[in-house]
Amino acid sequence: MATSNKSEFEFRGGSMNGFLMCAIDIVLYGTMVYSFIKGGIAADADKPCAFWFITAVLLLIAAIICSCGFSMLEPNEAKVMTFFGKYVGTFRKNGFYWLNPFMTVKNVSLRARNLNADPIKVNDKTGNPVMIGLVLVWRLKDTYKAIFDIDTEVVTGTSGSSSAARMNRFENFVRVQSDSALREVAGMYAYDDEDSKAGGVTLRGGSAEINEVLTGKLNERLAMAGLEVLEARINYLAYAPEIAAVMLRRQQAAAIITAREKIVDGAVSMVKMALDKLKGEDIVNLDDSQKASMVSNLLVVLCAEEPAQPVVNSGTN
């Protein structure tokens, strides 16, 4: 995709303090009124009055033009300036100013914004369908690319509403690109360790690394639009509904197997301890068959889920 090599630069054109220009504008309106009055008096006295009326009209035009150049800029806002179609810079000075009214001004916000994307269905690395969602923090970084490299034109209206509509266009662009980047990143990893045959990072266990990769992918896609992702992280992860029940049973089975392994390990350790205790304290001497029987009985008692029924062996004659 071809993109422009140009980037933003600071507005170098003239600007004046808004309060000073407001005072000058008031003087212009007052002088215009005075000229009209003087022209009217001269006309009533049959004296030459054309000079006064022409001066009044010129002063009125100048006052109206000056009235159109007032602009106020809050922190983390900017104005993209064009003069008859030519980009002349980005104005970032906060406060109340007067700018050339013949320039076209496009307001943009540089504040950070949140985007909470709804979960989407994707296939992980092993092909399992999963539901995954993300939340990200983004902001406008390059005003030139944001305004002139992507289509963000809005219907004519007030400056404030145009700025809000333009930022909504940016948010929609981020939403579409985040959907695409999330699908790409989700396809690079398995859901969990059980799905990952080769091990490594998984969607469920490697959140820090995956969030870093996701942020990088998003910044690659949004660089063309002059937008920057400050943070991106997965905030929702689950199997898709059609396989969720099956995967839940698999997880339950894995949990049961793990629990059984721990029970068996503990039971074997306890049996070994019992045999060593009997032998060490010379309580009873057991032959191999008696040891095997004792081991079998202890394992049944320790590993069984139901309470064992005791059988007392009083020995043999």
3-state per-residue secondary structure call for 191-212 = CCCCCCCCCCCECCCCHHHHHH
In terms of Cα–Cα distance, which of 174, 208, 172, 210 is closest to 189?
A: 210
**Which residue range forms the structural domain that includes residue 74?**
15-109
Q: From the CB of residue 202, how many other CB atoms can be counted at a distance below 10 Å?
A: 20
Out of 196, 211, 239, a domain closes at 239
Q: Is the domain of 177 the same as that of 129? A: yes
Q: Is the domain of 22 the same as that of 138? A: no
Q: Is the domain of 117 the same as that of 220? A: yes
The token duo for 67 is: 């009235």
In terms of Cα–Cα distance, which of 85, 96, 92 is closest to 107?
A: 92
Spatial distance between the Cα atoms of 205 and 144, rounded to a whole number of angstroms: 40
Q: Is the domain of 122 the same as that of 105? A: no
Please, where are the H alpha helices in 94-155? 143-148
Q: Is the domain of 131 the same as that of 226? A: yes
Q: Is the domain of 148 the same as that of 177? A: yes
- Rounded to the nearest 10 degrees, the angle between the axes of helix 241-280 and helix 288-303 is 140
Out of 109, 140, 170, a domain closes at 109
Q: Is the domain of 119 the same as that of 235? A: yes
pLDDT by residue (tens digit) across 124-173? 888 888 889 999 999 999 999 988 888 766 544 444 457 788 888 899 99
In terms of Cα–Cα distance, which of 117, 133, 87 is closest to 226?
A: 87
User: What is the distance, to the nearest Å, from the Cα of residue 58 to the centroid of all Cα atoms in its chain?
Assistant: 53
**Is residue 309 situated within a structural domain?**
no
- Three-state secondary-structure class, residue 217: helix
Number of residues assigned to the chain: 317
Q: Is the domain of 27 the same as that of 82? A: yes
Q: From the CB of residue 241, how many other CB atoms can be counted at a distance below 10 Å?
A: 10
Out of 81, 109, 137, a domain closes at 109
pLDDT by residue (tens digit) across 231-289? 999 988 888 877 666 667 666 666 767 777 777 777 777 777 777 776 777 666 766 67
pLDDT by residue (tens digit) across 260-275? 777 777 777 777 777 7
> Looking at 3-12, 46-55, 59-68, 178-187, which range is the least confident one?
3-12
Q: Is the domain of 131 the same as that of 87? A: no
pTM exceeding 0.85: no
pLDDT by residue (tens digit) across 92-111? 888 998 998 888 888 898 99
Domains identified in the chain, total number: 3
The token duo for 32 is: 């215009």
Confidence band, pLDDT 50/70/90 cuts, at residue 217: very high
Q: Is the domain of 271 the same as that of 232? A: no
